[in-house]
Amino acid sequence: MQTARIRPAAYYRTLTRNLVLFVVVISLLPLFLTGAIILHQFKQAYQTKVEENLEVLLNKHRRTIDAFLIDRLADIRVLARSYTVPELQDPAFLKAKLGLLREEYNGVYVDLGLVDAKGAQVAYAGPYNLAGANYSTAQWFRQASKSEHFVSNVFAGLRGSPHFIVAAKKRYQGRDWLLKATIDFESFNALVENIRIGETGFAFILNRQSEFQTKPRQEVILASGAWRQLLQEPLDPGRVTIVERPDSLGQAMIYAAAPLKKGQWIICAQQEVSDAFVHLVQAQRAAIAIFVIGGLLIVVATLILARRLVRRIAEADEQKESMNEKMIEAGRLASIGELAAGIAHEINNPVAIMVEEAGWIEDLMSDEGPMSEETLSEIQRAVQQIQEQGERCKQITHKLLSFARKTDPTIKPVDINGLVGEVLGLVGQKSRYAGVKLTTALDKDLPRVAASPSELQQVLLNLVNNAVDAISSEGGTVKVTTSLENGAVRMSVSDTGIGIADANLARIFDPFYTTKPVGQGTGLGLSICYGIINKLGGEITVTSAKGKGSTFTVILPARQDSNPATTGAPRAGQA
């Protein structure tokens, strides 16, 4: 019986889902935004820090390497200036000076040699047999001859192993000489090779022709990608250029370059981004993990709470529905109670006639002497009268029972005009004695509405009862009108009664609010009407003028598939 009106399970599922979505979004969105902003800021700060570290590191080593080269050049220049060519031409003298230098600088110097203006090495001290070697065609010799001092690129030369030369020009007795020293490649290479940046970072030196001046690195691809682009750019001598690009394998890398040796060489460094930002990535992962775990906890907690809440709402709805049912039933009984007095009068009259007719038969039969034909005929009339009055009682009780039995709240198509007829039949006696004329103006083409017939009957009975009660002893009219307006069924009950004061109008549908004398009204009738009509998706309104009467209007949606209900009711008439 209750199922037709309790909200479907889908409603509560939707409510749960919406509740969960709302709470989750409201909870997680700020968390997500805060987390994202903090991570972004942290990434920016971390990136700046990584770049600054790289810049500091590269600048430091640039200065170290530049200082190394200047120092070596200074050593040779001091030798060239301090001694005469005859002294420097002496191999034993050169060997002694080489020994001193090797001792002082831990084997950085490989050899020393004096070369004349034609490129012939006139003196040599060192591990190789290079005395008398001719450098006239060597590129370093041609370049060194043009300046006072010179540091060459790394090259293999006559000895076939990588090295570079530091040379200083010496003018002696009108002729130019070059004092040259070979720098140990391993010692120079160690200056760069030992630079470690994180787990994957390293450094190396290139000249402007992109030739390695330190040991070549296989993982460095110079011919393409970021390095090629970077080496083509004019590098700012005062600063370190840093770019972040993927390498040819798609691995994100950080590339840094800074010029040294007056821009002839470039110190380069590269590192995998994942290595450079390892702590950032760890922080990101931790933040994401916290967000995901926190989010899951919020979702689970919200789900549990929403389910509990919705279960409570469903229980409350059930209780409310049950109370509504009870209230409607109570209102129904109250309506019947209000009719009871009139109905009692209607039944008591035929019963009184039956009792008196029976008494009359008894009177006739108790007469002494033979029963005349006239007496027999009178007895027959009395018996027929008893039968007629019995039939009258039956009709009244049937009418009453038809109302009392209708307690099914199931929604079904209802013919409102038919309902009007039934209800006016019930209140006919009451209105007659109250001097109230009941009239109707019914639209015979009225479509049916979806409602519980018993509940709708109760609404109409309440409205008509109230309308009759509102009319004073001078009498008046109650008119029930039905019509179809804008696709909705409109039913109004108008009376010519005392009307409702403006102050009461606003509270008229409140429960337990009544203007009737104590004991005559429960204050539930209109509240129940409101509840029933509201539940059916309809509307109930009232207009009233003090001293002129009131009109209660019920508007209900017409059933789309409904055919007009032909009730045979008059379009306008008197009930």
Distance CA 26, CA 30 (A): 7
Check binding of 575 to other proteins (CB under 8 A): no
CA torsion through residues 189, 194, 200, 201, sign: negative
Site for other proteins in 359-378 (CB under 8 A): 359-360, 363
Count of helices and strands (H, E) across the chain? 13, 18
In the complex, least distance from residue 336 CB atom to other proteins, rounded to whole angstroms: 12
Q: Give the count of residues interacting with other proteins (CB under 8 A).
A: 27
**175 and 167 Cβ atoms separated by less than 8 Å:** no
Distance CA 222, CA 8 (A): 71
In the complex, least distance from residue 382 CB atom to other proteins, rounded to whole angstroms: 7
Query: What residues contact residue 278 under an 8 Å CB cut-off, 6+ apart?
Result: 198, 199
Distance CA 106, CA 95 (A): 16
Helices 278-365 and 525-535: crossing angle, nearest 10°? 130
User: CA gyration radius for the chain?
Assistant: 57
Cα torsion for 502, 508, 513, 517, to the nearest 10°?
A: 70
Per the structure block, which two tokens stand in for 62? Answer: 């640039």
CB nearer other proteins, residue 272 or residue 357: 357
Distance CA 108, CA 182 (A): 9
Range in contact with other proteins (rule: CB under 8 A) among 178-186, 261-269, 284-292, 339-347: 339-347
Closest by Cα among 320, 317, 336 to 511: 320
Check binding of 341 to other proteins (CB under 8 A): yes
Of 79, 112, 138, 382, the one binding other proteins (CB under 8 A) is: 382
In the complex, least distance from residue 306 CB atom to other proteins, rounded to whole angstroms: 55
Per the structure block, which two tokens stand in for 60? Answer: 């430091």
In the complex, least distance from residue 384 CB atom to other proteins, rounded to whole angstroms: 11
In the complex, least distance from residue 497 CB atom to other proteins, rounded to whole angstroms: 18
Check binding of 551 to other proteins (CB under 8 A): no
In the complex, least distance from residue 418 CB atom to other proteins, rounded to whole angstroms: 27
CA torsion through residues 153, 157, 160, 164, sign: negative
3-state secondary structure of 401: helix
Binding mask 440-479 for other proteins (x = CB under 8 A): ---------------------------------x------
Check binding of 345 to other proteins (CB under 8 A): yes
CB nearer other proteins, residue 353 or residue 528: 353
Range in contact with other proteins (rule: CB under 8 A) among 118-126, 135-143, 201-209, 428-436: 428-436
Check binding of 353 to other proteins (CB under 8 A): yes
Distance CA 116, CA 9 (A): 106
Check binding of 334 to other proteins (CB under 8 A): no
Check binding of 394 to other proteins (CB under 8 A): no
Check binding of 357 to other proteins (CB under 8 A): yes
Check binding of 351 to other proteins (CB under 8 A): yes
Of 305, 344, 545, 572, the one binding other proteins (CB under 8 A) is: 344
Of 324, 349, 397, 515, the one binding other proteins (CB under 8 A) is: 349
DSSP string computed for 115-162: EETTSBEEEEESSS--TT-B-TT-HHHHHHHTSSEEEPPPB-TTTTS-
Check binding of 389 to other proteins (CB under 8 A): yes
Of 355, 383, 404, 572, the one binding other proteins (CB under 8 A) is: 355
User: CB-based burial of residue 72 (10 Å sphere; 0-12 exposed, 13-18 middle, 19+ buried)?
Assistant: buried
Check binding of 352 to other proteins (CB under 8 A): yes
In the complex, least distance from residue 363 CB atom to other proteins, rounded to whole angstroms: 6
Range in contact with other proteins (rule: CB under 8 A) among 309-317, 351-359, 523-531, 548-556: 351-359
Closest by Cα among 567, 563, 434, 436 to 493: 436
CB nearer other proteins, residue 256 or residue 438: 438
**294 and 372 Cβ atoms separated by less than 8 Å:** no
Edge-to-edge strand order for the sheet containing 149-151? 121-125, 109-116, 175-183, 164-172, 149-151
Distance CA 166, CA 109 (A): 10
Binding mask 117-156 for other proteins (x = CB under 8 A): ----------------------------------------
Of 37, 305, 372, 433, the one binding other proteins (CB under 8 A) is: 433
In the complex, least distance from residue 538 CB atom to other proteins, rounded to whole angstroms: 34
In the complex, least distance from residue 459 CB atom to other proteins, rounded to whole angstroms: 25
Of 7, 142, 432, 571, the one binding other proteins (CB under 8 A) is: 432
Q: Which residues are near other proteins by CB under 8 A?
A: 340-346, 348-357, 359-360, 363, 382, 385, 389, 432-433, 435, 473
